[in-house]
């Protein structure tokens, strides 16, 4: 690759959890699922269980998303080439997106006029025709807006015409759920149901062009209304009724029936009254819409959940056997609750009484309840999203009887991801987050035989902690896999891989022959248990497995004091959330005491013999860097130079120098020498104020003693360590548009001392710069550096908040390789992996 050569960047993997907010997820008629992850809208495919892309544009947390058309109208969407998505955030901003199915390209269509002053709580709507939609939005500012959107017919773009039909002021108790439907009887009227922070359901009626007026209130629930959903017209001879299902924090679900009574002109019994049955035993109010009147009755009360019911949804209509016959609205409701279960409810054939026919759920400690449940368009899959930012999906694989089995879904962190590191041979990457978990992602090679390298999945969750985790380093030496992590506590913790993980990793990388079989014989720990009230993860030994299985669930109590034992097993396929959260822990082998404040950064040398750690500091004595010897885990050094928090550290690739950067705007370089007796000799070589603001990042040139520093002052500087124990500045890259928060330098060509520098910014954007370091001779002791921008990544491929860490996959520096892998993590909850192909 020449200095000015180009690079192609491909998206390999995106990992993220779901924002823990009701109404955040929507399943579209196109088969894709949308959800909010911090400020981004993420799109995933349930078929491949992979996040396909992210949509940048919001500046606040994404609260809700809604597809037009959703799965409810999939039977009408067979020939649609454009699908639309609405997303609303915590600032009241709503954005309309367009997906073109022909080329799978996304387009930011428009941002809706600012009509809400506070966060959006719900978006609901439907397609009136292939080019026309009506939808409603609610906000915590106490307003509900009803919108009409006319989309361009052609796929060549064009303007979308948007108009606000009505703004309803609902008062001091905001609405949190909405549902729109066309009233039965082809009257052209639309009904809007809304519910919120009281126990009533409010119905408003209007026409496509006219005002929406308050029709009536439905009383019955005894706590806040959490979810509402209208069915499509129910066929009972004539399409003369629709059903409304509601759920509440009173743990109950109610089904209401809206029946067309007839025209006001001939109310003298001209309409057919339905038979009186046990199911419709309470008649409710009558309301008028235009020249028609409607009777509301309570159809059924569904009791079965043991906690708040956050979501109810009608099963999408199935296509009738004959084309053009229409559709059939199934009598089937899906509910999701904080009691960790989802249920499917259907009426009995003989009595018509609604019963719970299917119950699925995560019955472990890990799932703290479900925020929403969704049907696929063909109703053979159901999806839940939970309190832990996780997805859970079940598919009905039964032929004659129902058999709902868990399915693989995307997973990831649900809070800022603070650090990321590669395994020594690049088999996996490890990330740590403020969601108090450590996660391992790896490609599963035998998962998809036709995929190059296999899909990436989360394969283990080695640490589930009680504190936000700030940093981690994987030990690069020989022997068992091992990592050190630092959290919002004064102790660094050391974890070693158990036998169950080693065998699982062997399955995942089965196509690679580099796996050390002899390693398994030395590991006597099968897995780890989380203690109920402590922070340590206790080992489960191989020869004690029979005792564990005897003790599981003896007393049947599910209390904080009696956490069930983990059952570590060898995974032969990518694990689901229930397995990840509880059965893939690593045992903690050591605690490293010494720091006076919470850990902030940690790094390991390339031989795997030394670990350096730093903590948050506001004085020189607390800002010291501790050195730990791998194996014995004894403190072998304390380095003092900085006066504030050391933000990042990195050993040079020959391990002779340690580079540190700090909030005090200085970098320091220490020489590290190992004596013949195994002792560590260290000395401060140089320290210098390098930037005008905090230095967030640093990275060494793999082929020499040149390094880069990046700062809040929006600059990246290149430096060289001279033999005469001094440091000279070689180059300052052109100013960036945002603070530089992450750097990583990878070597491409050792002969020409040529590499790529990845730059991550506070804005979330990424750039790759080509760096060529000239050789020095006697006349020019300072090498010359030439730099050129190689590629500026598309914002759709980048983070939407600050990039916290960048890491190139480890590779042999003697290779001249054209395909590289770059991992990144950010404050937007995302872990991303790119393939960089250089010419």
> Which residue stretches of 142-250 are H helix?
none
Q: Read off the pLDDT band of 450 (50, 70, 90).
A: very low
Residue range 572-588: mean pLDDT, rounded: 88
SS3 for 34?
A: strand
Is pLDDT of 777 > 70? no
Q: Read off the pLDDT band of 819 (50, 70, 90).
A: confident
Can you give the pLDDT at residue 453?
Answer: 52
SS3 for 708?
A: strand
- Distance from the Cα of residue 683 to its chain's centroid: 43
Residue range 390-402: mean pLDDT, rounded: 88
Can you give the pLDDT at residue 178?
Answer: 95
SS3 for 514?
A: coil
More confident of the two residues 516 and 558? 516
Taking the CB of residue 769, how many other CB atoms lie within 10 A of it? 22
Structure tokens at 507: 């399955």
Are the beta carbons of 410 and 49 closer than 8 angstroms?
yes
Structure tokens at 761: 């910014």
Residue range 431-444: mean pLDDT, rounded: 94
Can you give the pLDDT at residue 35?
Answer: 96
CA dist 397 to 139, 262, 404, Å?
40, 44, 6
Q: Read off the pLDDT band of 811 (50, 70, 90).
A: confident
Can you give the pLDDT at residue 9?
Answer: 93
pLDDT tens readout for residues 640-683? 999 999 999 999 999 999 999 999 999 999 999 887 677 888 99
CA–CA distance, 159 with 281 (Å, rounded to integer)? 50
Is pLDDT of 436 > 80? yes
Residue range 378-404: mean pLDDT, rounded: 90
Mean pLDDT of the chain: 86
Residue range 389-406: mean pLDDT, rounded: 89
Can you give the pLDDT at residue 550?
Answer: 40
Give the 3-state secondary structure percentages of the chain, helix then strand then coil, rounded to 5: 5, 50, 45
Among 266-275, 324-333, 521-530, 688-697, which range has the highest average pLDDT? 688-697
Q: Read off the pLDDT band of 264 (50, 70, 90).
A: low
Q: Read off the pLDDT band of 520 (50, 70, 90).
A: low
More confident of the two residues 451 and 208? 208
Nearest to 713 by CA among 728, 732, 727, 729: 732
Residue range 25-38: mean pLDDT, rounded: 95
Q: Read off the pLDDT band of 365 (50, 70, 90).
A: low
pLDDT tens readout for residues 81-116? 889 999 999 999 999 999 999 889 999 999 998 889
Is pLDDT of 713 > 50? yes
Residue range 210-238: mean pLDDT, rounded: 86
Q: Read off the pLDDT band of 838 (50, 70, 90).
A: confident
Q: Read off the pLDDT band of 278 (50, 70, 90).
A: very low
Are the beta carbons of 41 and 54 closer than 8 angstroms?
yes
Residues 6+ apart with CB under 8 A from 150: 131, 132, 160, 161, 162
CA dist 500 to 407, 525, 547, 553, 598, Å?
22, 8, 17, 22, 31
Can you give the pLDDT at residue 495?
Answer: 94
Q: Read off the pLDDT band of 156 (50, 70, 90).
A: low
pLDDT tens readout for residues 299-331? 999 999 999 999 999 999 876 533 555 678 899
Can you give the pLDDT at residue 252?
Answer: 94
Are the beta carbons of 523 and 479 closer than 8 angstroms?
no
Residue range 368-392: mean pLDDT, rounded: 91
Half-sphere exposure of 821 (CA within 13 A, CB side): 20
Question: Checking phi first, is residue 2 left (phi over 0); if not, alpha (psi -120 to 50) or beta?
Answer: beta
More confident of the two residues 363 and 69? 69
Can you give the pLDDT at residue 115?
Answer: 87
Nearest to 821 by CA among 2, 1, 7: 7
Is pLDDT of 176 > 60? yes
In three state form, how does the secondary structure of 64-127 look?
Answer: EEEEECEHHHHHHCCCCCEEEEEEEECCCCEEEEEEECCCCEEEEEEECCCCCCCCEEEEEEEE
Residue range 585-604: mean pLDDT, rounded: 94
Can you give the pLDDT at residue 347?
Answer: 93
- Domains of the chain, by residue range, sit at 305-410, 417-544+565-838
Q: Read off the pLDDT band of 131 (50, 70, 90).
A: confident
- Distance from the Cα of residue 67 to its chain's centroid: 19
pLDDT tens readout for residues 532-541? 666 778 888 8
Please report the DSSP string for 415-480 in residue order.
S-EEEEEE-TTSS-EEEEETTSEEEEEEEETTT-TTSSS-EEEEEEEEEE-SS-EEEEEE--SSSS
Q: Read off the pLDDT band of 764 (50, 70, 90).
A: very high
Q: Read off the pLDDT band of 11 (50, 70, 90).
A: very high
- Does the structural domain 417-544+565-838 have CATH classification 3.40.50.10380? no
Q: Read off the pLDDT band of 795 (50, 70, 90).
A: very high
Are the beta carbons of 578 and 564 closer than 8 angstroms?
no
Is pLDDT of 594 > 50? yes
Least confidently predicted of 13-27, 131-145, 416-430, 495-509: 495-509
Can you give the pLDDT at residue 327?
Answer: 72
CA–CA distance, 415 with 662 (Å, rounded to integer)? 24
CA dihedral over 281, 285, 287, 292, signed as positive or negative: positive
Is pLDDT of 494 > 80? yes
Residue range 504-527: mean pLDDT, rounded: 67
Burial class, 273, CB count within 10 angstroms (exposed 0-12 / middle 13-18 / buried 19+)? exposed
């Amino acid at each position: 690759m020449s200095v000015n050569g180009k690079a192609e960047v491909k998206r390999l993997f995106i990992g993220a959890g779901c924002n823990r907010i009701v109404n955040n997820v929507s399943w579209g008629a196109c088969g894709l699922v949308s959800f909010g992850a911090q400020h981004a809208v993420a799109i995933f495919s349930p078929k491949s269980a992979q996040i396909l892309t992210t949509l940048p544009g919001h500046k606040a947390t994404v609260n809700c998303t809604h597809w037009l058309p959703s799965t409810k109208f999939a039977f009408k969407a067979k020939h649609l080439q454009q699908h639309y998505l609405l997303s609303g955030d915590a600032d009241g901003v709503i954005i309309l997106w367009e997906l073109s199915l022909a080329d799978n390209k996304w387009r930011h269509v428009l941002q809706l006029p600012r009509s809400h002053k506070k966060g959006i709580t719900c978006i609901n709507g439907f397609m009136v025709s292939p080019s026309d939609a009506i939808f409603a939005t609610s906000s915590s500012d106490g307003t509900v807006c009803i919108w009409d959107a006319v989309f361009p017919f052609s796929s060549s773009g064009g303007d979308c015409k948007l108009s606000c039909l009505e703004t309803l002021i609902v008062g001091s108790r905001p609405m949190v759920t909405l549902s729109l439907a066309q009233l039965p009887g082809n009257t052209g009227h639309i009904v809007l149901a809304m519910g919120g922070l009281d126990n009533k359901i409010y119905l408003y009626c209007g026409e496509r062009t006219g005002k929406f007026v308050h029709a009536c209130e439905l009383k019955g629930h005894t706590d806040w209304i959490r979810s509402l959903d209208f069915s499509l017209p129910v066929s009972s001879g004539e399409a003369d009724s629709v059903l409304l299902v509601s759920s509440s924090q009173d743990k109950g679900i109610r089904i209401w029936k809206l029946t067309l009574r007839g025209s006001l002109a001939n109310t003298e019994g001209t309409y057919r009254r339905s038979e009186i049955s046990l199911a419709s035993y309470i008649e409710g109010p009558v309301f008028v819409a235009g020249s028609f009147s409607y009777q509301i009755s309570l159809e059924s009360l569904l009791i079965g959940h043991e906690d708040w019911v956050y979501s109810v949804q009608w099963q999408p209509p199935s296509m009738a056997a004959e084309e053009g016959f229409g559709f059939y609205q199934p009598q089937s409701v899906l509910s999701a609750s904080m009691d960790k279960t989802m249920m499917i409810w259907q009426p009995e054939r003989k009595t018509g009484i609604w019963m719970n026919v299917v119950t699925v759920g995560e019955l472990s400690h890990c799932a703290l309840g479900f925020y929403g449940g969704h049907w696929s368009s063909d109703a053979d899959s159901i999806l839940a999203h939970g309190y832990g930012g996780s997805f859970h999906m079940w598919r009905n694989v039964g032929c004659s009887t129902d058999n709902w089995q868990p399915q693989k879904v995307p997973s990831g962190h649900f809070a800022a991801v603070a650090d990321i590191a590669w395994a020594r041979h690049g088999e996996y990457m490890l990330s740590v987050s403020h969601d108090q978990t450590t996660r391992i992602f790896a490609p599963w090679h035998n998962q998809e035989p036709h995929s190059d390298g296999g899909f990436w999945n989360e394969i283990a969750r080695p640490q589930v902690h009680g504190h936000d985790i700030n940093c981690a380093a994987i030990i690069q030496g020989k022997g068992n896999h091992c990592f050190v992590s630092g959290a919002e506590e004064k102790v660094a913790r050391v974890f070693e891989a158990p036998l169950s993980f080693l065998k699982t990793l062997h399955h995942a990388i089965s196509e690679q022959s580099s796996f050390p079989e002899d390693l398994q014989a030395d590991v006597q720990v099968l897995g780890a248990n989380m203690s109920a009230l402590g922070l340590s993860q206790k080992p489960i030994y191989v020869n004690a497995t029979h005792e564990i299985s005897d003790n599981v669930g003896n007393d049947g109590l599910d209390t904080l004091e009696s956490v069930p034992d983990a059952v570590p097993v060898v995974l032969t396929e990518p694990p689901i959330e229930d397995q990840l959260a509880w059965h893939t822990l690593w045992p903690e082998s050591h605690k490293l005491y010494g720091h006076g404040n919470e850990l902030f950064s940690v790094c390991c040398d390339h031989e795997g013999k030394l670990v350096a750690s730093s903590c948050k500091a506001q004085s020189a004595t607390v800002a010291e860097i501790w050195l730990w010897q791998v194996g014995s885990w004894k403190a072998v050094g304390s380095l003092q130079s900085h006066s504030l928090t050391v933000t990042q550290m990195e050993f040079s690739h020959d391990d002779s120098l340690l580079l540190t950067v700090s909030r005090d705007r200085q970098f320091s370089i220490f020489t590290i020498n190992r004596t013949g007796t195994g002792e560590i000799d260290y000395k401060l070589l140089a320290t210098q104020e390098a930037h005008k603001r905090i230095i967030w990042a640093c990275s060494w040139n793999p082929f020499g003693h040149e390094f880069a520093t990046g700062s809040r002052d929006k600059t990246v500087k290149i430096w060289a360590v001279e033999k005469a124990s001094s440091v000279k500045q070689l180059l300052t890259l052109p100013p960036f548009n945002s603070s530089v928060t992450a750097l990583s330098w990878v070597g491409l060509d050792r002969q020409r001392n040529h590499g790529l520098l990845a730059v991550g910014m506070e804005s979330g954007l990424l750039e790759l710069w080509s760096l060529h370091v000239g050789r020095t001779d006697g006349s020019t002791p300072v090498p010359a550096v030439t730099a050129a921008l190689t590629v500026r990544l598309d914002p759709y491929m980048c983070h939407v908040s600050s990039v916290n860490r960048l890491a190139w996959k480890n590779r042999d520096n003697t290779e001249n390789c054209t395909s590289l892998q770059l991992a990144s993590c950010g404050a937007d909850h995302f872990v991303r992996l790119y393939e960089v192909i250089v010419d």
